[in-house]
């Protein structure tokens, strides 16, 4: 992907979710990503603002308050697997799905792709939750217009501070091509880099 830099972006495809499981220390493991077909529209707005702190009669420092993102994912129809795995609706022995107020929804990673003029940028939001989707449809008139489903999402930081990641012009082909096979976790790469730097420091005395 070297020397490939987009000038524009367009389109939305390859939307996946992966269930997140947290241990008592906040460390996360992810399930195998599952595709959500029929992506229509996706929009996430940043939460949190820069806050100035004053001293010596001036803005002494600006504090960055990154509270993640919130927004909507519009899709053709929510997959049954998302209802059972993430929203925890119950599938009984007769194949009927029921909503229960006693259950808690799961956290999940959301992966998706924006097209570009040179290459498609692949993204992941690491710690998403969603509210229960609305129930709506409409009568059929002279022409049929599909009714879509919308998931209202909140994306927060993990315990290690990471909120999201995306591919870019320097991303290796191996990482890019396997992006939707498993949730990419940048802290592993950071740990390897630190280890290499420590080795070089030791060698240099």
pLDDT tens-digit map of 145-199: 888 999 999 999 999 999 999 999 889 999 999 999 999 988 454 545 445 555 5
Q: Which of these, 22, 7, 13, lies nearest to 42 by C-alpha position?
A: 13
Q: Which helix (H) or strand (E) holds 188?
A: helix 186-203
Give the pLDDT mean for 31-45: 95
Tell me the C-alpha distance between 103 and 175, whole Å. 36
- Name which residue leads in pLDDT, 35 or 25: 35
> Which pLDDT tens digit goes with each residue over 64-92?
777 889 999 999 999 999 999 999 999 99
Q: What is the pLDDT of residue 134?
A: 84
Instruction: Show the tokens assigned to 104.
Output: 């808690």
Q: What is the pLDDT of residue 82?
A: 96
Q: Where are the beta strands (DSSP E) in the chain?
A: 9-22, 28-30, 34-36, 39-46, 50-55, 58-64, 69-75, 90-91, 97-98, 107-116, 121-130, 149-155, 164-166
Tell me the C-alpha distance between 142 and 40, whole Å. 23
With a CB cutoff of 8 Å and minimum separation 6, the contacts of 202 are: none
With a CB cutoff of 8 Å and minimum separation 6, the contacts of 142 are: none
Q: Which of these, 90, 89, 119, 122, lies nearest to 16 by C-alpha position?
A: 122
């Amino acid at each position: 992907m070297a020397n490939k830099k987009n000038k524009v972006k367009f389109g939305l495809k390859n939307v996946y979710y992966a269930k997140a499981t947290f241990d008592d220390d906040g460390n996360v493991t992810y399930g195998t990503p599952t595709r959500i077909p029929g992506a229509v529209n996706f929009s996430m707005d940043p939460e949190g603002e820069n806050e100035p702190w004053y001293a010596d009669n001036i803005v002494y420092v600006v504090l960055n308050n990154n509270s993640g993102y919130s927004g909507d994912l519009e899709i053709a129809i929510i997959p049954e697997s998302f209802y059972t795995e993430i929203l925890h609706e119950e599938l009984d022995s007769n194949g009927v799905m029921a909503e229960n107020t006693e259950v808690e929804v799961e956290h999940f990673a959301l992966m998706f792709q924006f097209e570009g003029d040179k290459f498609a940028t692949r993204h992941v939001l690491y710690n998403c939750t969603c509210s229960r989707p609305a129930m709506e449809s409409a009568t059929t008139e002279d022409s049929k217009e599909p009714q879509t489903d919308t998931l209202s999402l909140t994306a927060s930081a993990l315990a290690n501070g990471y909120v999201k990641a995306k591919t870019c012009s320097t991303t290796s082909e191996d990482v890019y091509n396997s992006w939707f096979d498993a949730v990419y976790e940048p802290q592993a790469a950071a740990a390897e880099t630190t280890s290499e730097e420590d080795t070089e420091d030791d060698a240099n005395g």
